[in-house]
Amino acid sequence: MYAIVKNKILKVIAHQAVESKYIASLADFATTGECLTDHRVRENQLWAIIDKELATLPEKMRIVFELSRKNNLSHKEIAEQLGISEKTVKNQVNGALKVLRVKLGIFVYLLLVSHLL
């Protein structure tokens, strides 16, 4: 009988520890207010919109822009890879940014520029 009571008490104490950890994590979530899943869904939707607009760019401009922003290549590296001048690369990237700014709006444009530079 003593062992049964002892085990019941230990089980209650262990359960209280689990409850307190859960409550602490719930309180932490409530104070930070972050919903990582929601953020990722919105980010994925935004990237889908950006990719859709990138697909409408002229082919060479799109290729240069993607090499610059997605592959993080310098203008010099892109120029060497494509056999064009650095000034052409700069003009293509700037042209793509202008088109995207008009099509996507200034907020998305600023987000794109800040995340990819």
Q: In this model, does residue 114 exceed pLDDT 70?
A: no
pTM of the model: 0.57
Query: What is the per-residue pLDDT for 34?
Result: 59
Would you tell me the crossing angle of helices 59-69 and 75-82 to the nearest 10 degrees?
A: 140
Task: Give the separation between CA 13 and CA 6, rounded to whole angstroms.
Answer: 11
CA 71 to chain centre: 15
Summarised one tens digit per residue, pLDDT across range 46-96 is 778 888 888 999 999 999 998 998 888 999 999 999 999 999 999 999 999
pLDDT band at 32 (very low <50, low <70, confident <90, very high): low
